[in-house]
Structure 1
Amino acid sequence: MQNKNVIQLYNTLNRLSKQMHRFSHKADHKHGLFHMQSKLLQLIAKNEGIIQRDLAKKMDMRPSSMTEALGRLEQLNLILRKRDEKDQRSMHIYLTDKGREIVEDTVRSEEEFMKKFTDIVFREISEEEIEEMLAITSKLCKSLDTLDLKEPKDCSEECCQ
């Protein structure tokens, strides 16, 4: 049986994750975009001309979901999709000028928001405690990375016991 403190820690970290996730998404809504749409535009900006299939892989999305998401961004005149001249099955994705403006503004807004947000969230924690938390959370991430590789099939697997 697991230690009660470990279960309480897990529940507390889960709650903290949800709270941070909820607050961090507020920065993305400035232009009426959802968080995923904002991240998608930023990824396109960093990889101008990226192939739709590669974009889906980087965003960890199904190709059909990516097609739908890009369709919405195209309707908003934020991106252009162009067929590859050599391979008609491939679509290259480009930002429009409007899309580029939104990305620049969003990045600037996110940086300002994250500075204010982290100043508030971590104001009661010393630099030493932050370093300790970083080391511990890095270990937790590493443990979860090994579980991701196993892809458990049912709850008799190690991760669910």
Structure 2
Amino acid sequence: MKNSSQESKTRQVPNLICLTGIDGSGKSTHLRRLSKWLEEKHNLKSSPLSVWEIAKNPTYHKHPFISDRNAVHKYLGMLHPTARALFIFHGLFESFDLTKDSIAPIVIADGYWYKYAFTENLQGQDLDWLLAICGRFPKPKLTILLDLDPVDAWQRKPNITP
């Protein structure tokens, strides 16, 4: 079992960029465009980081609460804030570990922990508790907030992601 200092050392990513913002602000779109631009213009490969990267791990290919997004969304809707936050952060930590296997020198996070901590706080979870857990995630070298008017965001993405 790793202790706290060992775990934080293994989770350091020297070039972590985070794109964050509300649902519909264009995080995933900008992540794809930034990744393409970095490769075409600067010959730099990047690896995406989202809570869903965990599903790419062969260990979880058949796991019903990870491989099937609809089942995950349904399950998350049944949980109270503490259990839901722990499940989501578990997925993000596992997804982050997968980026360590990539040869890409840059990791681009889609929403990162900010998205989930904010949402869980709005659902009633204590902010200090959330921040204590999220303090285990590596700090990005650069965080970009995609600040889009909520009306425009709803037009881009009319369905709510649970």
* TM-score with structure 1 setting the length: 0.22
The one of the two structures with greater contact order (alpha-carbon pairs below 8 A, sep at least 6) is: 2
Larger Rg: 1
Normalized per residue, the structure richer in helix is 1
